[in-house]
């Protein structure tokens, strides 16, 4: 290892002559530093691979990135294949398993990462040639093994699954699809179906089609001589065969002719995710791109943006509100976004549109403009601390055909931006009458009044248009007592129910990709037990047997509260509704709601201990189809727990739901009972 040499100047305490200063005011800045934006050394290999080298000896480290010169590819019914292929690249080569490769990289103290359109390796300079060889092996000879694809698929699917409940992810997906259209790569959404359709051949096909030296840039940054970098590239990637580049021509997305509202109904939402978005005619390097950036930062770029100050500071609708404006190769995108309280959805849209109009119709004042320009130029100067910034600049110049001195002139151009330029950028780019207003939220609570912004349309979480949710209806003359009678009859009627002495439900629980065993046993009257287990080990258990209450998770006993007792007591009845009145529950019909597209009667239930929940009964069959309760979490929006009951089956004249889904927002649990047995002569000792 390199011998260390250090210089260490330690002075004794010294006294310096103090100059007189005026500390009542902030000192003026010194002379603006000369910002030097260097240029990389460039090479092109015979196979078309373009190489940039930014030599920087500040640290004895080197980073190399291979970047495919594409913004994205059309994946169609295999959407997701590009990301999966990117992850698969570093999961082994034809001569090294994943485990061997991981160890080899880390033995050299390095790191190696791959994605759909890039590969990056970094390490200390003296190990760099070996690491570069490993990255090259990954690029030239990835194993692309089926077994690794399956692991990546499981991870991808669980990601999609958790995104289904994530309002922000839904908003992003739907907004992209609506703004770019389904025929544009940026408008495609990976779904369970498309990810399951991906075969190893598709992954290979993706890599073979797009990973070509003549479509790629290779960027070196760090302590490496340009000639040495070139030689390394030549040695390892010189053999990489040139290929035919596949032109990526996508239809240019068009703006909607007029503003409309796109609602994705999410009944569990306590906040609306609002995004006001459209394409903008702004490509990287356009003459107005710097004034456009200043404009966007004034509107909503940060804590000091107008959206933040209006929606959060002045109105308190949200924790944060921002806008973004991103130029790209073909077309850019603008969006203004905020997560707002349900009841402030309409007002928030109004304020966001108001700010868009203000920045179009009025000139920005000098103080605000100068502060933003200082902020942006300071950020530019600070970004130069990282040598990778220079490499990114060079890459942008090449990818987007920017003028060679684009970044050298950036600060001069920024300094020249005036209030007219900012207003012009707003007028040229933002069209409040041609926006997609995408809202993910509780339609029933928020949709009213939104027609004033334009036609209101509804979409599912994959961005497909769906019918507006219809108003649910229920029999207005229904009373609680009559409803309970109807429920009892729906479940089989008093006679049939009274003949059931014991019940056993045996099934499987699916929770985040894992399968568990679920067993419920009832011994009427008054005894019930429910256990969840995996491989014979009990994970959770709740029971009331012989008047003794028990509730445990993973062997840990929970304290038994009145609320838990009520829940356990309820579970001993086939039709707990029969007992509500005698036990002092409040069972009140409060309205109607759609459950899985069907009308249902909405009942509010308050237990004697004061716990409130809702129960929904099908308006035709009167079977229980859903329950909903919210779990208070201090200081945070309540967690809504919904439970759905499906696929009722009659056994010995009594109805049992064979399928239950518990939906906690962030995660879901499906229970399927494949075995339902009644009157098998269960005894108390069987309830363990």
Partner 1 sequence: MRKKCIFSLVGLFALNILSAQSQAIQFEKYTLPNGLKVILHEDHSAPVVAVTALYHVGSKNEDTARTGFAHFFEHLLFEGSDNIKRGEFDKYIANAGGVNNANTSQDRTFYYELFPSNQVDLGLWLESERMMHAKIEQVGVNTQREVVKEEKRQRMDNRPYGSFLTEVLKRAFNVHPYRWAPIGSIDHLNAATLEEFVQFYKTYYVPNNCVLSIAGDINKAELKQKIASYFGPIAKSATPIIRPTIKEPALGGEVRDTIYDNIQLSGVFQAYRAPKQGGSEYYAFNILSTILSGGESSRMTKTLVDTKQQAAFAGSQPFFNEDEGLFITIALANAGVKPDSLELSIDSVVNDLKNNLVGEREFQKVKNQITTGLVSSKATMAGIAESLADNEVYFGDANLINTELDKYNKVTREDILKVAQKYLNKDNRVVLYYLPKPTTAK
Report residue 337 as tokens: 């976004």
**For residue 521, with 0-12 CB atoms within 10 Å meaning exposed, 13-18 middle and 19 or more buried, which class applies?**
buried
Q: Minimum distance from CB of 148 to partner 1 (Å)?
A: 12
Q: Is 18 in the site for partner 1 (CB under 8 A)?
A: yes
- Which DSSP letter does residue 614 get? E
Q: Pick from 316, 379, 526, 591: which binds partner 1 (CB under 8 A)? A: 379
Segment 627-646, which members bind partner 1 (CB under 8 A)?
627, 631, 633-636, 639, 641, 643
Segment 199-238, which members bind partner 1 (CB under 8 A)?
none
Q: Is 530 in the site for partner 1 (CB under 8 A)?
A: yes
Q: Pick from 74, 153, 312, 371: which binds partner 1 (CB under 8 A)? A: 371
State the DSSP string of 369-413. HHHHHHHHHHHHHHHTTSHHHHHHHHHHHHHTT--TTTTTTHHHH
Q: Is 123 in the site for partner 1 (CB under 8 A)?
A: yes
Q: Pick from 512, 581, 590, 638: which binds partner 1 (CB under 8 A)? A: 512
Q: Minimum distance from CB of 376 to partner 1 (Å)?
A: 8
Q: Is 674 in the site for partner 1 (CB under 8 A)?
A: no
Q: Pick from 76, 251, 365, 378: which binds partner 1 (CB under 8 A)? A: 378
Q: Is 366 in the site for partner 1 (CB under 8 A)?
A: no
Q: Minimum distance from CB of 36 to partner 1 (Å)?
A: 8
Q: Is 610 in the site for partner 1 (CB under 8 A)?
A: no
State which residue, 270 or 424, has the beta carbon closest to partner 1: 270
Token pair 């924790």 is found at 319
* Interface stretch with partner 1, choices 342-350, 371-379, 477-485, 673-681 (CB under 8 A): 371-379
Closest by CA to 267, choosing from 655, 658, 675, 641, is 641
* Interface stretch with partner 1, choices 211-219, 383-391, 422-430, 594-602 (CB under 8 A): 383-391
State which residue, 18 or 476, has the beta carbon closest to partner 1: 18
Closest by CA to 336, choosing from 285, 372, 295, is 295
Closest by CA to 330, choosing from 70, 50, 49, 66, is 70
Closest by CA to 49, choosing from 235, 205, 319, is 235
Q: Is 548 in the site for partner 1 (CB under 8 A)?
A: no
- Which DSSP letter does residue 599 get? E
Token pair 């073909």 is found at 330
Radius of gyration of the chain (CA): 32
Q: Pick from 558, 581, 590, 684: which binds partner 1 (CB under 8 A)? A: 558
State which residue, 74 or 98, has the beta carbon closest to partner 1: 98
Alpha-carbon distance 426 to 353, whole Å?
13
Alpha-carbon distance 140 to 89, whole Å?
10
Q: Are 39 and 206 in contact (CB under 8 A)?
A: no
* Interface stretch with partner 1, choices 202-210, 247-255, 418-426, 562-570 (CB under 8 A): 562-570
Q: Pick from 46, 58, 257, 683: which binds partner 1 (CB under 8 A)? A: 58
Q: Which residues pair with 341 in a beta bridge?
A: 271
Q: Minimum distance from CB of 286 to partner 1 (Å)?
A: 24
* Interface stretch with partner 1, choices 1-9, 263-271, 397-405, 438-446 (CB under 8 A): 1-9
Report residue 684 as tokens: 């108390």
State which residue, 107 or 354, has the beta carbon closest to partner 1: 107
Q: Pick from 19, 249, 470, 582: which binds partner 1 (CB under 8 A)? A: 19
* Interface stretch with partner 1, choices 173-181, 496-504, 537-545, 592-600 (CB under 8 A): 537-545
Alpha-carbon distance 132 to 521, whole Å?
62
H/E stretch holding 420: helix 419-429
Closest by CA to 595, choosing from 459, 457, 473, is 473
Closest by CA to 192, choosing from 157, 164, 165, 162, is 157
Query: What mask, x for binding partner 1 by CB under 8 A, covers residues 64 to 103?
Result: -----------------------------------x--xx
Alpha-carbon distance 571 to 522, whole Å?
8
Q: Pick from 571, 579, 661, 670: which binds partner 1 (CB under 8 A)? A: 571
Q: Pick from 39, 97, 375, 392: which binds partner 1 (CB under 8 A)? A: 375
Report residue 619 as tokens: 């308006």
Q: Is 536 in the site for partner 1 (CB under 8 A)?
A: no
Alpha-carbon distance 522 to 525, whole Å?
8
Segment 384-413, which members bind partner 1 (CB under 8 A)?
384-386
Q: Is 667 in the site for partner 1 (CB under 8 A)?
A: yes
State which residue, 25 or 548, has the beta carbon closest to partner 1: 25
Q: Pick from 405, 451, 563, 596: which binds partner 1 (CB under 8 A)? A: 563
Q: Are 436 and 334 in contact (CB under 8 A)?
A: no
| Backbone phi, psi, residue 416, to 5° | -85, -10
Q: Is 320 in the site for partner 1 (CB under 8 A)?
A: no
* Interface stretch with partner 1, choices 75-83, 381-389, 456-464, 578-586 (CB under 8 A): 381-389
Strand, coil or helix: what is 102? helix
Token pair 């100068």 is found at 370
Report residue 89 as tokens: 């690249």
Q: Are 116 and 86 in contact (CB under 8 A)?
A: yes
Q: Is 534 in the site for partner 1 (CB under 8 A)?
A: yes
Q: Is 343 in the site for partner 1 (CB under 8 A)?
A: no
Q: Is 17 in the site for partner 1 (CB under 8 A)?
A: yes
Q: Pick from 95, 362, 374, 649: which binds partner 1 (CB under 8 A)? A: 374
**Residue 555 burial (CB count, 10 A):** 10
State which residue, 109 or 584, has the beta carbon closest to partner 1: 109
Report residue 138 as tokens: 């990954």
Q: Is 121 in the site for partner 1 (CB under 8 A)?
A: no
* Interface stretch with partner 1, choices 55-63, 247-255, 448-456, 593-601 (CB under 8 A): 55-63
Q: Pick from 554, 582, 597, 681: which binds partner 1 (CB under 8 A)? A: 554
Q: Pick from 111, 147, 196, 609: which binds partner 1 (CB under 8 A)? A: 111
Segment 458-487, which members bind partner 1 (CB under 8 A)?
none
- Which DSSP letter does residue 48 get? S
* Interface stretch with partner 1, choices 16-24, 44-52, 258-266, 322-330 (CB under 8 A): 16-24
Q: Is 59 in the site for partner 1 (CB under 8 A)?
A: yes
Alpha-carbon distance 579 to 487, whole Å?
12
Q: Pick from 209, 304, 328, 408: which binds partner 1 (CB under 8 A)? A: 304
Q: Is 358 in the site for partner 1 (CB under 8 A)?
A: no
Query: What mask, x for binding partner 1 by CB under 8 A, covers residues 21 to 40?
Result: x-xxxxxxxxxxxxx-----
H/E stretch holding 161: helix 146-163
| Backbone phi, psi, residue 78, to 5° | -115, 30
Return the beta strands (E) in 447-547 as ranges: 456-459, 465-466, 502-511, 514-523, 527-534, 537-545
């Amino acid at each position: 290892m390199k011998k260390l040499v250090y210089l260490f100047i330690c002075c004794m305490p010294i006294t310096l002559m103090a100059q007189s200063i005026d500390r009542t005011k902030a000192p003026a800045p010194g002379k603006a530093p000369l910002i030097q934006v260097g240029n990389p050394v460039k090479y092109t290999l015979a196979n078309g691979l373009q190489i940039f080298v930014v030599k920087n000896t500040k640290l004895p480290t080197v980073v190399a990135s291979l970047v495919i010169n594409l913004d994205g590819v059309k994946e169609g019914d295999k959407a997701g294949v590009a990301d999966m292929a990117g992850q698969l690249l570093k999961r082994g080569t034809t001569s090294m398993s994943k485990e061997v490769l991981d160890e080899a990289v880390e033995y050299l103290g390095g790191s190696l990462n791959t994605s759909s359109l890039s590969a990056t390796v970094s390490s200390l300079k003296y190990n760099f040639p070996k690491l570069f060889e490993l990255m090259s092996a990954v690029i030239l000879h990835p194993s692309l093994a089926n077994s690794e694809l399956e692991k990546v698929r499981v991870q991808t699917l669980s990601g999609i699954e958790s995104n289904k409940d994530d309002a922000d992810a839904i908003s992003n997906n739907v907004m992209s699809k609506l703004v770019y259209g389904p025929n544009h790569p940026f408008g495609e959404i990976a779904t369970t179906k498309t990810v399951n359709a991906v075969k190893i051949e598709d992954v290979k096909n993706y890599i073979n089609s797009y990973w070509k030296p003549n479509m790629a840039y290779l960027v070196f940054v760090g302590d490496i001589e340009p000639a040495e970098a070139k030689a390394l590239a030549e040695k390892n990637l010189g053999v990489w065969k040139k290929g035919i580049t596949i032109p990526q021509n996508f239809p240019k997305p068009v703006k909607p002719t007029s503003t409309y509202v796109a609602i994705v109904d999410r009944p569990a939402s306590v906040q609306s995710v609002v995004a006001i978005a459209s394409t903008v005619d702004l490509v990287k390097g356009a003459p107005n791109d710097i004034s456009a950036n200043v404009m966007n930062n004034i509107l909503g770029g940060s804590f000091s943006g107008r959206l933040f100050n209006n929606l959060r500071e002045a109105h308190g609708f949200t924790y944060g509100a921002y806008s973004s404006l991103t130029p790209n190769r073909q077309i850019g995108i603008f969006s203004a976004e905020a997560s707002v309280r349900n009841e402030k959805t309409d007002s928030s849209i109004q304020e966001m549109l108001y700010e868009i109009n203000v920045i179009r119709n009025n000139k920005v004042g000098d103080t605000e403009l100068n502060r933003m320009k200082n902020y942006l130029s300071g950020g530019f100067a600070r970004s130069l601390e990282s040598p990778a910034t220079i490499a990114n600049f060079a890459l942008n110049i090449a990818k987007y055909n920017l003028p060679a001195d684009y970044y050298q002139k950036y600060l001069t151009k920024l300094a020249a931006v005036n209030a007219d330029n900012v207003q012009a950028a707003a007028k040229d780019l933002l069209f409040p009458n041609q926006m997609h207003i995408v809202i993910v939220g509780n339609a029933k609570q928020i949709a009213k009044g939104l027609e004033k912004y334009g036609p209101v349309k509804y979409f599912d979480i994959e961005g497909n248009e769906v019918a507006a949710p219809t108003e649910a209806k229920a029999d207005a003359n229904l009373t609680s007592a009559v409803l309970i009678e109807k429920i009892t009859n729906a479940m089989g009627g008093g006679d049939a129910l009274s003949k059931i002495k014991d019940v056993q439900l045996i099934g499987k629980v699916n929770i985040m990709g894992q399968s568990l065993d679920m067993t419920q046993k009832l011994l009427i009257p008054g005894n019930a037990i429910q256990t969840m287990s995996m491989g014979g080990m009990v994970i959770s258990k709740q029971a009331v047997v012989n008047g003794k209450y028990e509730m445990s998770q993973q062997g840990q006993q929970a304290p038994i509260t009145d609320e838990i007792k009520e829940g356990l007591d309820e579970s001993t009845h086939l039709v707990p509704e029969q007992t509500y009145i005698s036990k002092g529950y409040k069972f009140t019909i409060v309205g109607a709601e759609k459950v899985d597209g069907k009308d249902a009667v909405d009942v509010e239930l308050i237990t004697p201990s004061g716990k409130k929940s809702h129960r929904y009964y099908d308006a035709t069959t009167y079977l229980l189809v859903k329950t909903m309760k919210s779990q208070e979490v201090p200081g945070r929006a309540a967690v809504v727990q919904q439970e759905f009951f499906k696929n009722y089956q009659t056994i010995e004249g009594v109805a049992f739901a064979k399928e239950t889904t518990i939906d906690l927002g962030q995660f879901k649990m499906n229970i399927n009972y494949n075995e339902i047995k009644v009157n098998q002569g269960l005894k108390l000792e069987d309830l363990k």
